[in-house]
Structure 1
Amino acid sequence: MKKLLFFSLLTGLMACQGTKNESEVKDEPQVVQSSNTGHHIASIAKVFEAHGGFDNWSALKTLSYDNGGQHTIVELQNRYTRIESENQTVGFDGERVWVNPPSENAARQRMRYNLIFYFYSFPFVVGDPGISYEDLEPIELKGKSYNAVKVSYGDGIGDSPKDNYIVLSDPETNQMHWLMYTATFGRNESSDRFSLIKYDGWQEFEGVVLPSSLQWYQYSDGVVGEPRGGARVFENIQVSKEYPSMDNFSMPEGAQDVTNPAT
């Protein structure tokens, strides 16, 4: 079953220890969700189609990329995850989030381990069951008007069901240009304060169109400010309809289980 995990903003993920063979097919996951698009409204369906179609995305089994000194591999059907950097590896095996070697920042690791994957995989990541959509009036950013679809989650869906997202797409091409979002991880109340990301460098892989650059911007009262730091650049992007080796995601001996860091 796919895991919808949502969280607060900021950079800095994790990861490292020898890389597994991503192309090896071994111990395929037993539970795979078929494509379910009955809840998609017309406006969000047009955005998915502009990026290759939700059915094409749903057929993929593996996504990997390099970003910020980290190598990420995700088994897309269940969102098993492995993130490697020079000094640490973080993984999700379907039940447990683990860190190797152990870390004193367990709560932060648990909260952010798949944050960048989630933002990177827009718009497709908001096509999953349990998600609702609402057409908004067009929103203008930097002098251009964009179609706007608000995305929200049912109670109990993910770590932050009160988060909201607004997908902004070009009215002529339906391609996604911006994402507005709130962040409520760890809080019970909703927020009306939006952050803003610009999506660029779209490229086609196995029929789906994915970005190669995400740039956060300052944003307040409908006004786009200066960029917030440098862009996050994604390289060595690979997708596959084959499963990765499940060994990538198994918690190694001596790793720290941070699934429930407060316990």
Structure 2
Amino acid sequence: MRFLSILGLSLLLLSCKETPKKVDTDMNQSTKEVEAVKNDYPEALQQVFDAHGGLASWKAKRSLVYEMPDPENTEIHTTDLYSRKDRIDSPGFSLGFDGEDVWLLDPDDNYKGDPVFYHNLMFYFYAMPFLLADDGIVYSATPALDFEGMQYPGIRISYNAGVGTSYKDEYFIHYHPETNQMAWLGYTVTYRSGEKSDNVKWIRYNDWMEVGDVILPKSITWHAYEGRNIKEAKSTVQFENVSLDETPKPAAFFAKPDASKVVVGKVQ
């Protein structure tokens, strides 16, 4: 399947982390209170958030749903943006994270990947740049990224020790110098090895769509590279039927189905 080849590449390249979030679950929290959170971020990153609809708009949302179309096995991904519980449904299998365990419902043995790694993999790509507002992040300077004659300013993202399961990972967000929209995501990988890496992979973000009052990716594209020299496009993932809702899904939606099995491993 096309998804498996694209995401197989992702499994080798990306280590996703689930950062603990301090969340006010009171849905009546005022916009003013949410806006105050912006003061914790570098000014350039605040401008990126604003270029995508604003952090207050994002934090007012509770549920994210999107489809990853494929002729053989379209997947529907659903995530609770507060608890980070998630679920993936497709004609061949379902899997999810109920807040404690990763589960897999696959009676015909269709799924060949790593459910513990995959359950939130695409969410961490898709929900950029807003996930860069998570707790435990350290922001610092990084040189601009040059691509096709344009200089894209950037911000280096690292994590405090003990945050997530791969806190040695580093991320680099680069944004358009005129629009401030996110343009590139660079990332290193420590998943499984636990060793810090200086090999930065690159994803281009240049295809956006409006989802209510927030701007999110319509597609993202991995590129070949040599160091910071970005080369040709390698693979693209599309996103369709995207929705953001201020109302959460029922808790039962993410619960482990009776016929499913718990997958043992480290939750990302």
- When the two structures are superposed, what TM-score results if normalisation uses the length of structure 1? 0.82
CA gap of 1:38–1:258, structure 2 versus 1, over 3 A, is: farther
CA gap of 1:60–1:257, structure 2 versus 1, over 3 A, is: same
- Cα distance in 2 for partners of 1:156, 1:9 equals 27
Percent of aligned pairs sharing the same letter: 32
Greater helix fraction, Structure 1 or Structure 2? 2
- Cα distance in 2 for partners of 1:104, 1:210 equals 30
- Cα distance in 2 for partners of 1:95, 1:37 equals 30
Which amino acid in the other structure matches residue 32 of structure 1?
A: T
- Cα distance in 1 for partners of 2:221, 2:117 equals 21
Find the counterpart in structure 2 of residue 119 from structure 1. Answer: 125
Contact 1:106-1:261 within 8 A present in 2 as well: no
Find the counterpart in structure 1 of residue 231 from structure 2. Answer: 225
Matched, 1:32 2:25: yes
- 2:57 aligns to what SS in structure 1? helix
Find the counterpart in structure 1 of residue 214 from structure 2. Answer: 208
Find the counterpart in structure 2 of residue 75 from structure 1. Answer: 80
Greater RCO structure (CA 8 Å; 6+ sep) = 1
Contact 1:9-1:183 within 8 A present in 2 as well: no
Matched, 1:130 2:136: yes
- Cα distance in 2 for partners of 1:196, 1:112 equals 19
Contact 1:96-1:257 within 8 A present in 2 as well: yes
Find the counterpart in structure 2 of residue 199 from structure 1. Answer: 205
Q: Which runs of 5+ in 1 are unaligned?
A: 1-7, 13-29
- 1:56 aligns to what SS in structure 2? helix
- Cα distance in 1 for partners of 2:181, 2:266 equals 39
- Cα distance in 1 for partners of 2:110, 2:208 equals 37
- Cα distance in 2 for partners of 1:193, 1:136 equals 15
Find the counterpart in structure 2 of residue 3 from structure 1. Answer: none
Find the counterpart in structure 2 of residue 188 from structure 1. Answer: 194
- Deviation at residue 247 of structure 1 after TM alignment: 1.8
Which amino acid in the other structure matches residue 10 of structure 2?
A: L
Find the counterpart in structure 2 of residue 23 from structure 1. Answer: none
- 1:226 aligns to what SS in structure 2? strand
Contact 2:94-2:104 within 8 A present in 1 as well: yes
Q: Which runs of 5+ in 2 are unaligned?
A: 1-7, 13-22
- Cα distance in 2 for partners of 1:137, 1:226 equals 21
Runs of at least 4 residues off by over 6 Å: 102-107
Aligned counterpart for 1:108 among listed residues 97, 114, 118? 114
Question: Aligned pair count?
Answer: 237
- Cα distance in 2 for partners of 1:222, 1:72 equals 32
- Cα distance in 1 for partners of 2:254, 2:75 equals 16
RMSD between superposed Cα atoms in Å:
2.5
CA gap of 1:137–1:223, structure 2 versus 1, over 3 A, is: closer
Contact 1:197-1:217 within 8 A present in 2 as well: yes
